[in-house]
Amino acid sequence: MVSTVDLRSDTVTQPTAAMRAAMAAAPLGDDVFGDDPSINALQDKVAAMLGFEAALFMPTGTQSNLCGILSHCQRGDEYIVGQLAHTYRWEGGGAAVLGSVQPQPLSHQPDGTLSLSDIEAAIKPDDAHFARSRLLTLENTWGGKLLPFAYVQAATELAKRKGLSRHLDGARLFNAATAQAALTGTDPYQEARAIAGCFDSVSVCFSKGLGAPVGSALCGSKEFIGRAHRIRKMAGGGMRQAGVLAAAATHALDHHVLRLAQDHQLAKRLADGLIGIEGLQVEAPQTNIVFVDLVGPAREQSAALLDYLKTQGVLATGLYRLRFVTHLDVDAAGVDRAVATVRQFFKA
């Protein structure tokens, strides 16, 4: 039986044997009582790693972002966010539905940034006619793109100067840090801390490129995390012997950060292999996500292409804009097979 090359997302990864062993050996307690040692250790570890006073383990990144936004904002407040940011577009409108916090979406620039002039213009004056501008939320990476660090510094300084708090959806923070480290010649841990240092709170996901099966962490001050803890309880996020999940995340932080560079290299290998096929416009990847636009006559073949890939054991997502994501369960042979299958479909 031919194995599947699953490029739909880096969320499809399976725990490695070493991660499973760490999970099986994890000491456990009841986290609602605050006495699960594995969760406490993870929270201390990720907070110290990113330069915060405290952290809170969450089942999902959506819940982590929700608790973060609602800890910064009250009813009648608003957060400034990208039109295509995950916290606005793909999290069910949770901040508005559950917290009566209004999003103020802005258009992204081609590099994923929000223009500083747009951010400043969106900040409302202190007037009863307007929602209260309270928070700037950025996402890094965004669509696989690394936000330039100088921009992150400038945008967060602008927000701070205007009295706004700053939250980072860092679902793929360590992918961003890996790409940034390649530019600076440092290491991903150092760059992750530098990026996080621009924000009052950061949500980081363990179940994407880091390869853990479940979980995210919200980081911030002790006071902030105290508020988030109460909101997590209301959102149904209190867990019991969840240290088995925390152990997986801890293993990922220790062993899977430096290997992210391999995923980035494989994404480039995939993109390079697809260049030159008529009807495909391949966006050069900066991290582990490759976008491919189907144009001209090829556009009408998008559904057929995905179906064909699936029959050949290659999985991707999208329609006219396809997305391929590399991760720890994909190797060079799998990438080459995906490229060959696409070329076979187009007979290129």
Task: Work out the mean pLDDT of the chain and round it to a whole number.
Answer: 97
Q: What is the mean pLDDT of residues 108-130?
A: 97
Tell me what pLDDT residue 319 has: 87
Please, where are the H alpha helices in 197-331?
222-234, 243-255, 260-274, 302-311
Is 70 exceeded by the pLDDT of residue 1?
no
- What CATH number matches the domain at 17-255, 3.40.50.1000, 3.40.50.620, 3.40.640.10, 3.90.1580.10? 3.40.640.10
- Please list, in sequence order, all residues whose beta carbon lies within 8 angstroms of the beta carbon of residue 20, skipping any fewer than 6 positions away: none
What is the C-alpha separation between 95 and 159, in angstroms, rounded?
20
CATH class of 259-346: alpha beta
Instruction: Give the other-Cβ count within 10 Å of 181's Cβ.
Output: 21
Report the C-alpha gap between 263 and 175 in whole angstroms: 9
For 255-314, what is each residue's pLDDT tens digit?
999 999 999 999 999 999 999 999 999 999 999 999 999 999 999 998 999 999 999 999
In the three-class reduction of DSSP (H, G, I as helix; E, B as strand; rest coil), residue 239 is classed as coil
Q: Where do the domains of the chain lie?
A: 17-255, 259-346
CA-to-CA dists, residue 215 to 10, 86, 148, 239, 332, angstroms: 14, 16, 27, 11, 28
What is the rounded CA–CA span in Å between residue 182 and residue 194? 14
pTM: 0.96
Cα four-point dihedral sign 333, 336, 338, 340: negative
Residue 63 tokens read as 């819940």
pLDDT 10s digits, 160-199: 999 999 999 999 999 999 999 999 999 999 999 999 999 9
